[in-house]
Structure 1
Amino acid sequence: MKIPVLLTMLLLCALTGHTQQLDAIKYPNGYLYFHTYGSGAPVIVLSGGPGNSCLQQEEVAIALGKKYRSILLEQRGTGLSVPVPFDSTTINLQAAMDDLNRLLQHLRLKRAVFYGHSWGAMLAMSFAANYPDKVKALVLADPGYYKFSADLLTTHVNNLRARLGASDVVLIDTLDKKINEGKGSKADSALYTKTIRLAYIYNKSLIDSMLTKINGPKTNLLMQQLMVNDLRRVHYDLSKNLFHYKGPISIIAGSQDPLAFYTYELKVIRPDIKLYWIQAAGHFPMFEQQAAFDQQLLSVMDTAVKYP
């Protein structure tokens, strides 16, 4: 697939009323795209997934762009950043970290502050553990797994089920079986996604408006599966090497996030981590409690960018 070159193109986005810059970095397997908002101290913004569009965290990038140079990466395998070939040789954890090195080199940055949500937090922590001198500070939102294990996966799934009503649990089990047997329709998949997402948010009545923000452009499921397979292959476990990174780590999380136990266990691994909780919010506090989240994020970021 041929990717068009878009270098130093200024875009005026009428929907959000902000100016952004879209750039691309050429590398052997294609182009790596990123968006820049604002100016000042650089902050790399990494969206969740894996496989989600970077636009899921665009509102966060815009908020940061009011004070900083906010750089929102279209991670390899998402959006316009489509590698050739698109397989396990190009979609893996090391390739994702290589892209962060490419981004820093292209921007002529020796190091930067990294913000990441969910999977983006996992990637940011992995990069910090492997390239500690290139990370000034980590500001994370509702981080996902710090390691892959059957026990953690069971806890994750059970936490989701505990936050659903009895009829919802029956529905997702029925749909899951139907989809896995190859009998599910697009409507079944959409209903499954909507039902399981209920467990990730605090105010269930907002599910439809939340889905628009959470899902955004369609998730690249192939990228997601390839990355998950690689995390299993490399026995992903930050508890073994996160100590290589000595800089500050701050985590902002929804108090009702079903994945909050990952945050608590990260605090055990790194007692110096600073935690900030957003009430009445699940896994996406930047959507459910945007004003409170943005206020806390900017406060934390003010300290992070000043770290020597």
Structure 2
Amino acid sequence: MLRCKAGQRNKYVFLIKFHLMKLLFHLTFLFLITYNFQAQTEETIEYKDGKLHYSTYGAGDPVLIINGGPGISSAGFGELAKLLSEDNITIIYDQRGTGNSKIHTNTNTDFTIDLMVEDIEILRKHLGYENWIVLGHSFGGMLAYAYAAKYPERVSAMIQSHSGGMDLRLRDYPDLRDRLSRSQQDELNQLVLKISLGDTLRETRYQRAKLMAIAYLNDSTRTSEVAERLMTTDRTINSQVWANMNLIGFDVSEEMKNFNKPVLILNGIDEIVHKDIAIYADSVLPDSRLILMKDCGHYGWIEKPEIYLKEVKEFLKSN
């Protein structure tokens, strides 16, 4: 057995305590850094039409993320917001009538693309930003185009992620059913019919959403996750927004010809949103860069993160 004198013992005790305190300091510092990186702020704005809910991640220059839909909350985009919050403050929000954003009335005239654009501007003014980078995904890309067309001075740069486009040419291409097998199409048609006849079972809605998710993704391991998100779609809001866009003949391509800010366009080569929509946007925009990803469905950060996140982060750093 080793023995030490009292003085030596006290010295060792002091050194142990010193190093423990030093370790505790570094762990506390690391915790604070991690906490700040993961910090999320949530707030609900009250305005004339109702309430608008948003969340923020990180710190730095602002990036607004507009999720797809319409009729879906921003809840499923927290993952993307966190991934992009290393050097920026990323903002997601629930579009009118979805999630925690409530409106006073619920009629056809309450869900228009113009009102949704004004909601974004209300959020910008509330947060106090002179301008921001806007990332729009899927339908959110269409809404981002509409916002940039009306408020170009408020958009410092734009990211179009698997975007529905700057007009309605999306209607000219095959729909999601064409990405399913014949038997899957038949099953989907039967499920849609059952729901239209009054079937309210969760399992019925889930099976429909799961088939839709198969069409959206190339990576089958994330099907259940996407299906759960698709189940939250408010079909009434969805149909009302599309009806409004059809009514007004949504098309901001002329405005985009004069949009001189940098634009990054990302799309899958073979996905539910045809690559020609992204190629057309690239031909219209004066300062755009197009990234087409192989073997990628409708969610680049899920299926091709090594390409999608690399390109988006580099774009954010340079703008």
Give the structure-2-normalised TM-score.
0.81
2:316 aligns with 301
2:234 aligns with 220
SS at match of 1:241: helix
- Superposed displacement of residue 96, structure 1: 0.8
CA distance in 2, matches of 1:209, 1:179: 21
1:8 aligns with none
The answer to whether residue 184 in structure 2 is matched with residue 168 in structure 1 is yes
CA distance in 1, matches of 2:116, 2:178: 33
1:198 aligns with 214
CA distance in 2, matches of 1:60, 1:35: 12
CA distance in 1, matches of 2:100, 2:190: 35
The answer to whether residue 161 in structure 2 is matched with residue 141 in structure 1 is yes
CA distance in 2, matches of 1:293, 1:130: 28
Greater CA radius of gyration, 1 or 2? 2
From 254, 267, 287, the counterpart of 2:302: 287
From 65, 78, 84, the counterpart of 1:58: 78
CA distance in 2, matches of 1:92, 1:114: 20
SS at match of 1:287: helix
1:103 aligns with 123
Which deviates more, 178-187 or 194-203?
178-187
The answer to whether the 8 A contact 2:265-2:282 is kept is: no
The answer to whether residue 85 in structure 2 is matched with residue 71 in structure 1 is no
Aligned residue identity for 2:162 = D
The answer to whether the 8 A contact 1:139-1:301 is kept is: no
The answer to whether residue 173 in structure 2 is matched with residue 155 in structure 1 is yes
SS at match of 1:26: strand
The answer to whether the 8 A contact 2:257-2:286 is kept is: no
Aligned residue identity for 1:172 = L
SS at match of 1:89: helix
CA distance in 2, matches of 1:183, 1:82: 27
CA distance in 1, matches of 2:154, 2:222: 39
Which deviates more, 110-119 or 234-243?
234-243
Would you say how many aligned residue pairs link Structure 1 and Structure 2? 284
The answer to whether residue 233 in structure 2 is matched with residue 240 in structure 1 is no
Aligned residue identity for 1:242 = M
SS at match of 2:271: coil
The answer to whether the 8 A contact 1:130-1:244 is kept is: no
CA distance in 2, matches of 1:279, 1:235: 32
Q: What is the alpha-carbon root mean square deviation over aligned residues?
A: 2.4
1:3 aligns with none
- Residue-by-residue CA offset, 1:211-237 (whole Å, 9 max, x unaligned): 34x43x722222212211211121111
- Superposed displacement of residue 46, structure 1: 0.8
CA distance in 2, matches of 1:156, 1:146: 18
From 63, 79, 83, the counterpart of 2:103: 83
SS at match of 1:193: helix
SS at match of 1:275: strand
Note closer, same or farther for the CA distance 1:60–1:183 as it changes in structure 2 (3 Å cut): closer
2:38 aligns with 18
More helix by share: 2
- Superposed displacement of residue 183, structure 1: 5.9
Aligned residue identity for 2:245 = L
Q: Which structure has more RCO (C-alpha within 8 Å, separation ≥ 6)?
A: 1
2:281 aligns with 266
SS at match of 1:65: coil
CA distance in 2, matches of 1:209, 1:76: 23
- Superposed displacement of residue 279, structure 1: 3.0
1:36 aligns with 56
Of all paired residues, the percent bearing the same amino acid is: 25
Give the structure-1-normalised TM-score.
0.83
Aligned residue identity for 2:122 = R
CA distance in 1, matches of 2:102, 2:115: 13
1:275 aligns with 290
- Superposed displacement of residue 144, structure 1: 1.0
